[in-house]
Chains A and B, each alone.
Chain A
Amino acid sequence: MDCAEIRDALLSGSAPAGPGVEAHVRECEACAELLRDRGELGKALSRGEAPSQPNPDLWSSLEGALRAESGPRAWLRSRATPVRLLIAALVASAIVTYGGRAAEGGVAPAERPLVWLVAFTLVGFACLSVLVAPLGRPRPPPGVRLAIVLAALALPLLYASSSVASLAPASPQQFTFAEQALGCFAYGTFLVLPFLFVVWALDRGERPFLGLVAGVGAVAGLVANVALALHCPNTEPAHIAAGHATIGGALASLGALVVLVTSKFRS
């Protein structure tokens, strides 16, 4: 006798008994509770199901919704998750390749912080994997998921704090600190707009949108930081902290704010 057999017996209106049941309930407190006092709780629960009156219109309504699932977005979000991840990664790579080039007539950074770029890529990919993981598949516990998103937000700041100032001679010294920081911030944010759009298109709406938006903002910030680390000749810690590292936090906060405001208006 096991839990399923005891449940089935109670659902059919009888309280099972015998040596097999006794042996099972000695090991299983849950079944013991159901079977106490001749199974009164089990019998009560068996009467507790909602009367079923299947809605005859529900299938036709679903058929209509399935017909509406057409077009590029429907195609993208119905891909298997590894394919969706690959698409997002390809778009991010294209952004880094295009946006990471040295400005025309300008200079590239004196050093390529390779270890940091690898760290950004790994954390970004881990964050994205957690965000688009399909329902019903194992995911890290909430605390670990939060830690990954926080790592994605904090990594650019760590990079900024470890950076050594090595301004290239051709750097635009005529610009103030604020102008340079703002310029990099705007450039990085603009660069990742296609990435945000693609992730939106890939999203199936399986998970709370607020968490997704905040997490994707953090990943987009990493993509922007990789591109800027290859593109911007100014490696001054304060500049990176203000102009590069703030992008992820700003996108995550702005996205969360938009979701909260729109959901408030909708309700």
Chain B
Amino acid sequence: MGAASAGNSEVCSGAPPVRTDEELMLAYTRGDGAAFKELFQRYAPKLERLMLRELYAREEANDLVQQTFLQLHRARLDFDPAQRFKPWLYTIALNLKREHFRRRRRRPEVLGDVSDERPAPAGAHEALEAHHSISWALAQIPEENRSVIELHWFDGLSFAEVAKMLGIGAVAAKVRAHRGYQRLRKLLGDDLEMPDGGNRGAGGAI
């Protein structure tokens, strides 16, 4: 059985079987435009979150998401159905993100504004605050640790896939994640939830 059949398939009972990412991409290479739109709908929000983790301007994040799909379109004939689609897409996205920061020639030092003119849904303020704390802490740790944590924890790629994307071994990817988690624990300090469910204190390191 090829990797394609093991791709991300969300099965809904009663509904027609949902095509895997790999099936959709293959369909797009054969001219099925609707398949591309489905991939976009499936991944654009995830990629937007990926971009917003260190890039605080939603407009720039959206621009990078668009460029990611544009690159995907240009490289569509290089798609190998025997390989998983998601790591490929994330490689393109991360490369664009890295290049974006290289152009800006600076790391984000302060929290920016992820809000825009659209009204925030209920509970969004707390979510935004938590996101800011984690984003701030992530921005403080070395890139080699951050990229592994982003791809494994936030984007759900396996350590083997992350290792392949970054050109390192799976054991090295786990070690990088472990060290990154240790640093995050120190940085987040009081913002970590206490075992009894409460918080260690307000404010803290952030």
A residues near B, CB below 8 A?
3-4, 7, 28-30, 32-34, 36-38, 40-41, 43-45, 47-55, 58-59, 61-62, 65-66, 69, 74, 77-81, 83, 134-139, 141, 204-208, 263, 267
Interface size on B, residues (CB 8 A): 67
A58 touches B66 (CB 8 A): yes
- Known contacts A44-B191, A206-B92, A207-B95; is-contact A135 B71 (Cβ 8 Å): yes
In the assembled complex, which residues on chain B have CB atoms less than 8 Å from the CB atom of A44? 130, 133-134, 188, 191-193
Contact A7 B181 (CB under 8 A): no
- Please indicate which of the listed interface residues A43, A48, A52, A58 has the most CB atoms of chain B within 10 Å of its own CB: A48
Q: Mark B160-189, 1 if CB is under 8 A from A, else 0.
A: 000011010000001101100110110010
Identify 16 new A-B residue pairs, CB closer than 8 A, beyond the known A62-B70, A135-B71: A7-B152, A28-B174, A30-B177, A33-B181, A37-B195, A40-B194, A45-B184, A47-B131, A54-B45, A59-B44, A74-B74, A77-B74, A78-B76, A135-B95, A204-B75, A206-B71
Closest 9 CB pairs of A and B: A48-B134, A136-B91, A33-B181, A136-B88, A47-B130, A30-B177, A80-B77, A50-B52, A29-B178
The residue on B at minimum CB distance from A41 is B185
In the complex, the chain B residue whose C-beta lies closest to that of A205 is B71
> Which of A41, A47, A135, A206 has the most chain B CB atoms closer than 10 A to its own CB?
A135
Q: How far is the CB of B157 from chain A (nearest CB, A)?
A: 9
- On whether the beta carbons of A78 and B74 are closer than 8 Å, the reply is yes
B114-135 contacts to A (CB < 8 Å): 114, 116, 118, 120-121, 124, 127-128, 130-131, 133-135
> What string of 1s and 0s marks CB contacts (under 8 Å) between B86-104 and chain A?
0110011001000100110
Q: Are A4 and B76 in contact (CB under 8 A)?
A: no
Which of A52, A79, A204 has the most chain B CB within a 10 Å cutoff?
Answer: A52
- What's the A-B contact tally at a CB cutoff of 8 Å? 157
Q: Is the CB of B66 within 8 A of A65?
A: yes
Question: Interface on B for A, CB 8 Å cutoff?
Answer: 37, 40-41, 44-45, 48-49, 52-53, 58, 62, 65-66, 69-71, 73-78, 83, 87-88, 91-92, 95, 99, 102-103, 114, 116, 118, 120-121, 124, 127-128, 130-131, 133-135, 152-154, 156, 158-159, 164-165, 167, 174-175, 177-178, 181-182, 184-185, 188, 191-195
Out of A54, A138, A206, A207, name the residue touching B48 (CB < 8 Å): A54
Q: In the complex, which residues of chain A have a beta carbon less than 8 angstroms from the beta carbon of B62?
A: 55, 58, 61
Our pick among A34, A47, A81 for the contact of B181 (Cβ within 8 Å) is A34
Residues from chain B with Cβ under 8 Å of A83 in the complex = 77
* Contacting residues, chain A, for B69 (C-beta < 8 A): 62
Cβ of B175 and Cβ of A29 under 8 Å apart? yes
CA separation between A204 and B150, bound complex, in Å? 26
Main secondary structure of the interface of B (DSSP, over half): helix
**Contact flag A52-B48 (CB < 8 Å), given A45-B184, A78-B77, A135-B71:** yes
CA distance A79 to B185 in the complex (A): 46
| CB <8 Å contact, B192 and A48 | no
Query: In this complex, what residue of B is CB-closest to A52?
Result: B45
Q: Are B124 and A51 in contact (CB under 8 A)?
A: yes
B50 nearest in chain A by CB position:
A50
Establish whether residues B174 and A29, one from each chain, have CB atoms under 8 Å apart when the complex forms. Answer: yes
B75 in contact with A43 (CB, 8 Å): no
User: What are 11 residue pairs bridging A and B, where the CB atoms are less than 8 Å apart in the complex?
Assistant: A3-B158, A7-B156, A37-B192, A49-B154, A51-B124, A51-B128, A53-B116, A62-B70, A136-B91, A204-B74, A207-B95
The answer to whether B131 and A49 have CB atoms under 8 Å apart is yes
Q: Which of B49, B83, B167 contacts A49 (CB 8 A)?
A: B49
Residue of A3, A51, A53, A263 contacting most chain B CB atoms (<10 Å): A51
In angstroms, how far is the closest chain A Cβ from the Cβ of B181? Answer: 4
Q: Among the listed B116, B133, B159, B165, which residue makes an inter-chain contact with A136, where contact means beta carbons less than 8 Å apart?
A: B165
